[in-house]
Amino acid sequence: MAVLSVLDVSSFCIGVDVGGTYTDLVSVDGEGHTIFVKSPSTPRDQSIGVMAGLEKLAARHALSLNELLGRTERVVHGSTVAVNALLERKGARVALLTTEGHRDVLEMREGLKSERYNLRMPPVEPLVPRDLRYGIRERLKPDGSISVPLDLDSIDSAIASMEEKDVAAVAVCFLHAYENPEHEVRTLERVKQKLPSVYVSASSDVFPQIKEYERFSTTVVNAYVGPVVHFYLTNLQRRLLEAGLSKDIFIILSHGGMAPVEEAARLAAATIFSGPAGGIAGSRQSAELLDTPNLVPFDMGGTSTDVSVIANFQVPLSTQRELAGERIALRSLDIASVGAGGGTIARVDSVGTLMVGPESAGAEPGPACYSGGGTAATVTDANVVLGYLNPASFLGGSQPLDKEAAEAALDRLAAQLGLDRIEAAAGVYRMINLKMADGIRMITLRQGLDPRHFVLLSSGGAAGLHAVEVARELEIPRVVVPTVASVFSAWGMLTTDLRYELSRTYMNELCTFSDRRIREIYQEIEDCAADRLSSWFDGPLKFERWAEMRYGEQIYEIDVALGDLDWQAGALVDRVQERFHNRHEELYTYASKDSEVVFVNARVAGIGEIDAAPYSAGVRPDTPPPKPESRRAWLGQWLEVPSYKVDQLSTGQTFLGPGLFEADTTTVLINDGDLASVNGLGWLDIQLRESPASD
């Protein structure tokens, strides 16, 4: 059981975020003092990069690794192991056991394809080939009663075949198992008995909800990435314990909460959006620190940019996520990922058009200027050529950039376009900004939100050079850049709680439920969630409640928050129905109050409340503005631009653009007429000039 102590000045919390190019590590002590480092990611074995980063972090504290970990109260980790395994199709060899006659659900999907009018679009290749999908003789009725008893001989026959075919994971998905898990549980027990080394997942455990394809797909994804995630997490846990850690390791999950290693390994599909979830957790904390309810988190890293929305301090969750053609119906933070990062490659297509992304140079070989063997022109190379990045001070001077290699890469691109070097670099910069602005439009406008009424929160090591111009494209008037921007996801992981989500299907017209039955349903789910959480955590718990409902003739449900209802007052069913009508109108501008409302799924989130790591601004008040250096940068023309060191700035200072603000791990660019000030947190707060950009 996790016992999470209150930090004192001599102890630490550590957040670790593994990105495509860098692994970010943040330590916070009991007084909120924050130290962070970056270490190159090691895609072949991410734990190598994590341990190397911890060595660097220990050195920053003037401690040995053993001393640092011995004083660490908790480590919170965001992993990309699951998402990489799914994207690269490097997961386990999976078999599917399903109700006889239904083994093709994975291929039939929902009868639709993502590009329904593309006649040449090839079908998505299922994660489980057809010869590894086994029909098991059994059948449940829609109410969960048994129509055909479970045939153990058909299970044994499938097990014998799986053993011959070297299967590493098994997904068990029977019809209507969300109503009655008995057949799945018995099948799982039989598989574990005969194949003890195989990773197993049952749909009644992973996603016990109605909708056949979503349940099957999510369970198969869980089985596909499960062995890879389990191996990585247990290996990392072992290495950390051997290095001196005596406390628990927690993994941040796609819904933004965290869970112990054992839970993350069991529900591996919930770690697929683990890394970006840390950034959203940090954004939610930032909204409270800034007392700004509406933010657009904008996190630009080395390989991709993640954007989301915080409206009225709330982060929307979604069950409609797809990745690599696979449906993952577990709840996750509503994040849009754009193939745009510092390592994004610029190229010329067959008709001579400049294309930027989605391909990335990644951590290996990296941009040309990294001197790691990369030769393609990337966004980072363009920023070097345009004078935005100082080659000598990149990563605090620990990794100088090769300006000549960047220039050579842009020269090759420019020759294909018939342009000069600066025109090509400026084109790359402009294209990537437009691409990221489109990603923000997509996620805001689809929720009926106007981005002009929001504040852009810039994070990620590459975002500072692009955030202001992306905001200008969207007519967002204000940009905020935290001092921890370059390691924002790792920092955000230290602000989240333990979380366990549980849902059940109770499909019927809402009017058929009594107030008492609604209360019983949610109390039963809460009791189950409390039992699971109490095995991890001995602190205070709270619960959040939602319902998925729809109008009778609809086929998709909407999520309705019920947490602030008075559950003991009368007319509970009527108030739940009214809440649904109001939410439907918010999303779609109308409500059909004369139509029947169908209650489909009840969901509860159990939350183990943990004190967030404290935050200390660490800025020097009442000091004169620092004397800037001068840098030559391209802003429509070559200009001598003042460059300030972020660690020399003080609260209340203001700076009129153009200007550059350099920290060890990020650089921020403001243009002519923009006004940057240092707020009470020590963060850059930028007001954009009112007139649109003319360059």
Q: Of the segments 220-229, 247-256, 583-592, which one has the largest average pLDDT value?
A: 220-229
- Cα 316 to its chain centre, rounded Å, is 13
Q: Which CATH architecture does the domain made up of 498-608 adopt?
A: 2-Layer Sandwich (3.30)
| Domain spans, the chain | 91-224, 344-431, 498-608
Tell me how far apart the alpha carbons of residues 437 and 473 are, in angstroms, rounded to a whole number: 7
Q: Which CATH architecture does the domain made up of 91-224 adopt?
A: 3-Layer(aba) Sandwich (3.40)
Whether the CB-CB separation of 184 and 51 falls below 8 Å is answered with no
CB atoms within 10 A of CB 492: 33
Maximum distance among all Cα pairs of the chain, rounded to whole angstroms: 82
- The end-to-end CA distance of the chain, in Å, is 58
Burial class of residue 659, CB neighbours in 10 A (0-12, 13-18, 19+): buried
DSSP string over 663-682: -SS-EEEE-TT-EEEE-TTS
Could you read off the pLDDT of 162-215 as tens digits, one per residue? 999 999 999 999 999 999 999 999 999 999 999 999 999 999 999 999 999 999
Look at residue 695 in the predicted model and tell me its pLDDT: 43
CB atoms within 10 A of CB 563: 12
Q: Residue 302: pLDDT band by 50, 70, 90 thresholds?
A: confident
Look at residue 8 in the predicted model and tell me its pLDDT: 54
- The backbone torsions φ and ψ at residue 556, rounded to the nearest 5 degrees and listed phi first, read -120, 140
SS3 label, residue 366: coil
Tell me how far apart the alpha carbons of residues 405 and 418 are, in angstroms, rounded to a whole number: 20
Tell me how far apart the alpha carbons of residues 676 and 668 are, in angstroms, rounded to a whole number: 10
One-letter-per-residue 3-state SS of 496-519:
CCEEEEEEEEEEEEHHHCCHHHHH
- The backbone torsions φ and ψ at residue 358, rounded to the nearest 5 degrees and listed phi first, read -85, -5
Average pLDDT over the chain, rounded to whole? 90
Could you read off the pLDDT of 124-156 as tens digits, one per residue? 889 999 999 999 999 999 999 999 999 999 999
What is the mean predicted confidence (pLDDT) over 562-591? 92
Task: Give the H/E segment covering residue 362.
Answer: none
DSSP string over 50-116: HHHHHHHHHHHTT--HHHHHHTEEEEEEE--HHHHHHHTT-S--EEEEEETT-TTHHHHTTS--TTT
SS3 label, residue 430: helix
